[in-house]
Amino acid sequence: MQEGQDGKRDSKRVLVIPCSGIGKVHGLMSREAAYLVADELVPDKADLVCLALLVKEDEATIGKVKAHPCIAIDGCGKGCAMKNVELAGGEVIRAFQVGRFLSGHRGARPGSGSELTEEGWAVTREIAEAVADEVDGLCAREEVA
């Protein structure tokens, strides 16, 4: 396990880093999934980090990703969230991709980059639940260890 700036890794909270995609529905779904995780499903175990702060090489943000386990939720295969966490020296415990969830719902019309449909929200919740399960599992493993 990687250590943070203070030499210790705080695994009590997991950082969720969503994609920042603005052009397509995938980015919106990744952000809304992250909000569901951090605000509703596991608010005591997960926090969000601005991806832009990470790519700006903000010291405090880099310190955070080095000190906490990270989960990336990317919209597409370009994997900006995952890549930027790794570039910052963080450890991506698990990388999710919105596109993979959508491919399990062929024909679904999730909405646009501005708005999600009911179907879009349903898939978004599915993503959020998968992320929250990962957070729960990770926190449980760390406690046992």
Partner 1 sequence: MSAEMNKTPKIGIISCSGEEIPEGTISRNAVRRVLEYLRPHETVTLCLPLFLAGNEGERNFARTHPVVTIDGCGKQCARWGTERHGGPVARALVVSDILGPGAAGCSRSARGRTPADESAEAVVADRIAREVDALRAKGATPRDKGDGV
Residue 27 in the binding site for partner 1 (CB under 8 A): yes
HSE-up (13 A, CA, CB side) for residue 126: 16
Residue 49 in the binding site for partner 1 (CB under 8 A): yes
Closest CA to 30 of 41, 13, 15, 16: 16
Exactly one of 39, 59, 89, 100 binds partner 1 (CB under 8 A); which one?
39
Q: What's the burial of 140, exposed, middle or buried (CB within 10 Å: 0-12/13-18/19+)?
A: exposed
What is the C-alpha to C-alpha distance for residues 83 and 131, in angstroms, rounded to an integer?
18
DSSP string across 69-135? -EEEEESSTT-HHHHHHHHTT--EEEEEEHHHHHHTSTT---B-SS-B-HHHHHHHHHHHHHHHHHH
Residue 48 in the binding site for partner 1 (CB under 8 A): yes
Exactly one of 4, 9, 10, 55 binds partner 1 (CB under 8 A); which one?
55
Beta carbon of residue 98, minimum distance to partner 1 (angstroms, whole number): 14
Residue 15 in the binding site for partner 1 (CB under 8 A): no
Q: Which stretch binds partner 1 (CB under 8 A): 3-11, 51-59, 91-99, 133-141?
A: 51-59
Beta carbon of residue 57, minimum distance to partner 1 (angstroms, whole number): 9
Residue 70 in the binding site for partner 1 (CB under 8 A): no
Exactly one of 104, 107, 114, 145 binds partner 1 (CB under 8 A); which one?
114
Whichever of 121 and 142 has its CB closer to partner 1, that residue is: 121
What is the C-alpha to C-alpha distance for residues 109 and 103, in angstroms, rounded to an integer?
11
Exactly one of 3, 12, 56, 133 binds partner 1 (CB under 8 A); which one?
56
